[in-house]
């Protein structure tokens, strides 16, 4: 199986031993607490689950600045996006042991114990510089920039010991999986070449066919549809609805033991190319050998070029930095000429009218009105789930 990023074996920060975990939880009740924001809590979940291997905790300011600028830590580890704990909280000092608590869960239970190595003030200028480097813009209208610049100016760094996975394991018990669990499932299924498909949306016919194309062209043993379960921007489809849509599509239209449906506990960054590289890092950690990177991967609005998330791998990721390989994909759509889904770049004799293309706005309007998109765009079973969701929202 493919090695994790940066180490020979996966090093999740979740305390797996029940006795040790109970002891740490008991200790946490006596410690000063720091209530995390959603971004820092999601980082803790990803660290605990092994997705952010080989990091041992939250980055300090020197590492955060280095990663934002050059995609590597001060020790030379390749990493595309800072993994920090920016906060507005005061009263925490270096050298202390503290308990960190998860914000979206009732009662704010302890998420992890941690040793505080440093508490550093990040200037507004440094925040702005990092935002520009990570997101490629400082426009406050960009949802990732807006979130990042509002987190606070106190950076609390140091190793952590994760005690639970916040709300992800309880709200998505059949879907949320750690990198450790996914590696185990890959091994159990006997897969060697594994394609990962990132999604934060329900999958329509074009997405389904893209997964099928990648598996066939790569000779892959299977595909992992790996959905984000964390915080999205307003208007995006809730995770439970996406989950139901994807599972229905896989159950009906893929052969047994060809597709895994899984999810991970992280908030969407909308960082385009940088986030695509982060996706590759943690898909390697979970055991995937290939990641599908399509048009405008992890993008939002018009902030990135349609294929910037592909070219970053050839132009900015150092050779040998990652073991996972990228499957470059174009926009896929139903061809009226060929009566099948194709990558648009592979149909040079087509013009726009030769494809079945619907805008997101148009699809939402149709679903809200109880009208299913055409079968060339969406599977009827998926459309039925989405129509029920939109109609319940409008009731």
Query: Which residues are known to be catalytic?
Result: 200-201
Q: Which two tokens stand for residue 224?
A: 């992992």
Q: How many CB atoms lie within 10 A of CB 143?
A: 18
Using CA of residue 53, residue 191, residue 266, residue 316, what is the dihedral sign? positive
Helix or strand (DSSP H, E) at 214: helix 205-218
The answer to whether 155 touches 61, Cβ cutoff 8 Å, is yes
Cβ contacts of 338-347, under 8 Å, gap ≥ 24: 340/209, 341/205, 341/206, 341/209, 341/210, 343/210, 343/213
- Residue 380, Cβ density class (10 Å: 0-12 exposed, 13-18 middle, ≥19 buried): exposed
Handedness of CA 87, 93, 95, 100 (dihedral sign): negative
Phi-psi region of 227 (alpha: psi -120 to 50; beta: other; left: phi over 0): beta
What is the spatial distance between Cα 50 and Cα 32, in angstroms, rounded to a whole number?
A: 26
């Amino acid at each position: 199986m493919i090695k994790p990023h940066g180490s020979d074996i996966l090093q999740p920060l979740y305390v797996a031993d029940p006795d040790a975990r109970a002891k740490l939880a008991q200790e946490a009740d006596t410690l000063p607490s720091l209530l995390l924001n959603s971004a820092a809590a999601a980082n803790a979940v990803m660290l605990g689950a092994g997705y952010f291997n080989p990091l041992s905790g939250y980055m300090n300011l020197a590492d955060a600045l280095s990663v934002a600028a050059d995609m590597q830590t001060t020790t030379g580890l390749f990493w595309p996006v800072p993994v920090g704990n920016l906060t507005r909280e005061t009263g925490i000092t270096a050298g202390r042991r503290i308990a960190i608590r998860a914000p979206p869960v009732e009662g704010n239970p302890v998420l992890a114990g941690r040793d505080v190595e440093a508490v550093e003030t990040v200037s507004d200028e440094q925040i702005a510089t990092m935002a520009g480097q990570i997101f490629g813009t400082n426009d406050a209208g960009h949802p990732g920039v807006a979130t990042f610049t509002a987190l606070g100016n106190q950076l609390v760094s140091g190793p952590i010991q994760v005690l639970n996975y916040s709300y992800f394991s309880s709200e998505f018990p059949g879907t949320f999986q750690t990198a450790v669990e996914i590696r185990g499932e890959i091994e159990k299924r006997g897969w060697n070449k594994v394609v990962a498909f990132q999604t934060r949306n329900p999958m329509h016919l074009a997405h389904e066919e893209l997964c099928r194309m990648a598996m066939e062209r790569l000779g892959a043993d299977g595909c992992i549809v790996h959905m984000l379960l964390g915080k999205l921007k307003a208007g995006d489809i809730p995770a439970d609805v996406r989950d139901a849509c994807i599972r229905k599509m896989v159950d009906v239209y893929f052969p047994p033991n060809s597709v895994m449906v899984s999810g991970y506990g992280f908030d969407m960054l909308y960082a385009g190319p940088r986030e695509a590289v982060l996706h590759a890092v943690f898909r390697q950690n979970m055991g995937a050998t290939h990641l599908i990177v399509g048009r405008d991967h992890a993008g939002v609005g018009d902030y990135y070029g349609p294929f910037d998330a592909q070219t970053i791998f050839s132009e900015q990721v150092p050779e040998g930095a990652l073991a996972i390989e990228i499957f470059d994909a174009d926009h896929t759509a139903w061809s009226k000429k060929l009566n099948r889904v194709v990558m648009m770049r592979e149909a040079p004799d087509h013009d726009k009218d030769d494809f079945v293309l619907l805008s997101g706005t148009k699809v939402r309007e149709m679903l809200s009105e109880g009208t299913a998109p055409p079968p060339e765009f969406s599977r009827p079973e998926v459309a039925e789930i989405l129509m029920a969701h939109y109609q319940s929202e409008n009731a």
